Structures are given as structure tokens and as C-alpha cells.
Amino acid sequence: MDDFILSLATVRGAIEQLLIKASKEAEVDLEDEMLDVDTGFGELDEDGAQGDGPTFSRPRGVTNRDWRVYEVLDEMLRELHEKFKTIWA
């Protein structure tokens, strides 16, 4: 059971990296579209795309569908972890 939880944690980490990559690609696409238009507001911020700490916040530009996949996997991992702790406590 512990190996399964570790495997799911690895998958969650890989999905977090893919979401960050997708967010950066969406920002690049947005910057490319905005090259021709001068809004006068300066450059886009690049904060909020890192998964530091125990929680991972949704990066800007991630689709609802992709984020939902992450949420389901994260919730499943949390539930399994809690049940595993209860069983072996």
C-alpha cells in the first residue's frame, strides 16, 4: 500500500510539472499575441507558478479540465494517505 501511495505521489508531482509547463506555454502564447498591441501596462507577472510547500495552487493559464484531473488525483492521494495512517497507527 505504501508503494502505491508513493507511486501516486510521483504521478501527482509529474502532473504538477506538466501544469507549470502548460502555464508557461500559455503565457508565451499570450505574449506573442500581445506583441502587436501596446497596452501600456508593462510585462506579465510570472509568480504563482511554483508548487512550494504542502499545497499546489493553480497556475495561471491552466484549463479547467487539466486542473480537475489534478484535483481528483490530489484528493484521492490525500484520502489514501489518511486511511493508510489510520490502518497502521
Domain range holding 10?
A: 2-36+56-88
Determine the Cα–Cα distance for residues 36 and 31; give it in Å rounded to an integer.
9
Q: How many domains does the chain have?
A: 1
* pLDDT at residue 38, as a whole number: 44
Residue pLDDT, tens place only, 20-63: 999 988 877 655 555 544 444 444 344 433 333 358 999 988 99
Helices (H), 1-89: 2-34, 64-88
Determine, yes or no, domain membership for 16. Answer: yes
In a domain, 20, yes or no: yes
What's residue 45's pLDDT?
Answer: 40
Q: Residue 45 falls within a domain, yes or no?
A: no
